[in-house]
Amino acid sequence: MKRLSLILGSLAVASVAFATTYVRVEKDGTKTYSDRPLPGGQAVDIEPAQTYSAPPSPVHSDSNLTAEQRLLRQMDNFSYTSCAITPENDATFTNPESVPIGVQTNPELRPGDSVTLTVDGQATGSNSRSYVMQPADRGTHSVQLTIKDRFGRVLCSASSSFHVIRPSLNSPARRRPTPH
């Protein structure tokens, strides 16, 4: 076993130095390698060892930051793929007692992100993802949504308008009550 290790070690040294290597097969079938010609031996063409050079590391402007600071910076590159408001834009409601308003995000809202939902310019409450407009007054109403991270950076925003119709008492389609 020692002999095999010695042979392989000398083979490695020989291949690194790009010298010619010689081999001779002994009577018992073992092989002897050498960097010098051997009686009864033949020259062996050995391919150079495969090497790998790593690509240069990209230079980052945050290379002097700690690992924790770099992780925080990566987390702060988060954004929502979508955010939406219900009811959809230009939805119409006829004689509703109330209109439910909701917020959907993709992915789900992260802890620490703040939601600002306003209806007709008035905030609906702190971090509110749903609101019920009651009473639902006649007219067109606007809804705005803004989602911000803990640093105040806007991550997503959306807006929608919906209409509430309340036919007049004098409407021709209105049936008059029948006297009893």
Gyration radius of the chain over CA positions: 39
| Per-residue pLDDT tens over the stretch 74-113 | 666 778 888 999 999 999 999 999 999 999 999 888 888 8
| Secondary-structure class of domain 75-165 per CATH | mainly beta
pLDDT at 12 over 60: no
Query: In 5-153, where do the E strands start and end?
Result: 21-25, 31-34, 42-44, 82-86, 91-94, 99-106, 114-119, 122-123, 130-133, 139-148
- Identify which has the larger pLDDT, 6 or 159: 159
What integer pLDDT is reported at residue 11 of this predicted model? 55
Q: What percent of the chain has pLDDT over 70?
A: 75
Give the residue from 106, 88, 57, 104 showing the smallest Cα distance to 159. Answer: 88
With H, G, I as helix, E, B as strand and everything else as coil, classify residue 78.
coil
What integer pLDDT is reported at residue 68 of this predicted model? 78
State the pLDDT confidence band at 14, using cuts at 50, 70 and 90: very low
| Per-residue pLDDT tens over the stretch 37-58 | 888 888 888 777 888 888 876 6
Contact 148, 155 (CB under 8 A): yes
Domain boundary assignment for the chain: 2-44, 75-165
